[in-house]
Structure 1
Amino acid sequence: MNRDVRAAVFRPDDERTDEAVELLDSLGADPVPDPMLAVEPTGETPAPGDYVVMTSKTGVELVAEAGWTPGDATLVAIGERTARAMREAGWTVDLIPEEYSSTGLVQMLEAEVDGNRVEVARSDHGSDVLTDGLADAGADVHETVLYRLVRPEGSGESAELAADGEVDAALFTSSLTVEHFLEAAAERGVRDAAVAGLNDAVVGAIGEPTRETAEAHGVAVDVVPETASFEALATATVEAAAPSYRE
């Protein structure tokens, strides 16, 4: 196994970081966990709707803990991770799109939501693609912000390592992780050097929106996995950084 790949990962400072470190370690990389997201609950729960759309495991867990249940609504999950959390809460998941994204949700629902009230419950950084797309399909759309995503205090160690040329791979899991990384780099006075360091490394983005955000800020993206999952992102990025890592 090749331990020369130092891979920076920016997932929230909860079990997702632990899972990421474990996976990267199993791939033979040297993980650098630097969480760029922290969850601040708003205390809100979804409003009633004919359809209730939830876009994250975090959101599901927050509202389940608050005692919310979907009632007779058609319950929609953005992907399997969210659906699994719903089932663990004791709810029945009715719909999951083939493509785990806002676009995939719109494509799945647009033919059936005309005239229906659709409740979208998510973070404060949800994409307008979902709400605008459902509204264009004739739905009465209401959005509830369940939690805010903020940058943890003290984040940015990976930015300094990148600026010093000591990061071989970087794994961005959302547009917000890109923006928070660059904010942390700027706070530490190393933004330009950190971008240059990333451009000498292998950068992975979990999907096209994340890639577009990174490239808009001057960060070249080398890897976008076919499947928008962290496992696919990590595997493809480490493979690109060190093709021999399985040897």
Structure 2
Amino acid sequence: MPKPKVAVLRPNDTRIDEAIRSLQSLGVSPIADPMLTICPTGQQPREAEYCIFTSATGVELAVEHGWVPDGGTVCAVGRQTATALRNWGYSVDVIPSTFTSAGLVEELADKVEERTVEIARSAHGSDVLTQGLEEAGAVVHETHLYRLERPSTAGRSVSLAAEGELDGILFTSPKIVEYFFEIAKERDDTAALRRGLAGTIVGAIGTPTERAARREEITVDVKPDTVGFKQLAERTIRKINSI
């Protein structure tokens, strides 16, 4: 019996390699389709009373460019971001109970009036953080540590999905969902893609990724409780094997 084919869409760095190994260990045939290239801007966060990081990538780039907390309150959206900070030896003062930008706004809303807040993240973040904190009275500055671009080689999974050749597909960020469907639209394959995905188990990390898929009229079958890739892969493959 052939192994299930599961497409994994991750940045074209060590994360795609780790994902392939993880899927192989779970007994499926991984279809690697790197869908993001991370392009550092060379900027680093400004000094502020509160400094917010939204991704482990942002933490790594900030530290590489010489960032240190300077006594400010360090905030992380999610456990992976917090772990990245701790791995560099920095304490994390605030992690929202709900691992979203809205959750962090709620956590900080009664603390940041007339305080300086630095948001260090990609150039593609939503306005939820900036608007929410400004409405709470904070003086907000945002530093774009990196941009996300689509690799010229991306798109193998789009073709396979449109042909109904995938048993599962793993979406790991809203931007990846956007690029995935952008490729389909460029190829005029959107209708075929939606038909193909109707018979594919779709896994997504986090509510923002799930929402991005739903905007494209795609049903998400698996959304784990955490934002870790391992749980996403395990639960998606369990779902595939149960059919």
Normalised by the length of structure 2, the TM-score is: 0.93
CA distances 1:21-51 after superposition (whole Å, capped 9, x unpaired):
1222222221111111111111111112100
Structure-2 residue corresponding to 1:234: 233
CA contact (8 A) 2:44 2:66 kept: no
CA distance in 2 between counterparts of 1:181 and 1:238 reads: 21
CA distances 1:140-160 after superposition (whole Å, capped 9, x unpaired):
111111100111111000111
In the alignment, structure 1 segments of 5+ residues that lack a partner are none
CA distances 1:174-202 after superposition (whole Å, capped 9, x unpaired):
11111101122233443322222112101
Aligned length: 243
- In the alignment, is residue 153 of structure 1 matched against residue 141 of structure 2? no
CA contact (8 A) 2:109 2:136 kept: yes
CA contact (8 A) 1:172 1:205 kept: yes
CA contact (8 A) 1:3 1:28 kept: no
Structure-1 residue corresponding to 2:221: 222
1:104 counterpart letter in structure 2 = G
CA contact (8 A) 2:205 2:227 kept: yes
CA distance in 1 between counterparts of 2:142 and 2:40 reads: 15
Structure-2 residue corresponding to 1:56: 55
1:127 counterpart letter in structure 2 = S
In the alignment, structure 2 segments of 5+ residues that lack a partner are none
Moved more, 120-129 or 101-110: 101-110
CA contact (8 A) 1:206 1:229 kept: yes
Structure-1 residue corresponding to 2:3: 4
CA distance in 1 between counterparts of 2:45 and 2:223 reads: 32
Moved more, 131-140 or 86-95: 86-95
- In the alignment, is residue 163 of structure 1 matched against residue 162 of structure 2? yes
- In the alignment, is residue 21 of structure 1 matched against residue 54 of structure 2? no
Pairing of 1:155-234 with structure 2 (within 5 A)? 155-234=154-233
Cα deviation, residue 3, structure 1: 5.7
3-state DSSP class of the match of 2:242? coil
Q: How well do the aligned residues superpose, as a CA RMSD in angstroms?
A: 1.7
Structure-2 residue corresponding to 1:81: 80
Structure-2 residue corresponding to 1:38: 37
CA distance in 2 between counterparts of 1:60 and 1:208 reads: 22
CA distance in 1 between counterparts of 2:134 and 2:233 reads: 35
2:20 counterpart letter in structure 1 = V
CA distance in 1 between counterparts of 2:234 and 2:104 reads: 26
3-state DSSP class of the match of 1:200? coil
Normalised by the length of structure 1, the TM-score is: 0.92
CA distance in 2 between counterparts of 1:20 and 1:98 reads: 27
Moved over 4 A (4+): none
CA distance in 1 between counterparts of 2:214 and 2:197 reads: 11
Moved more, 79-88 or 39-48: 79-88
Cα deviation, residue 123, structure 1: 0.3
1:59 counterpart letter in structure 2 = G
Q: Percent identity?
A: 49
Moved more, 21-30 or 57-66: 21-30
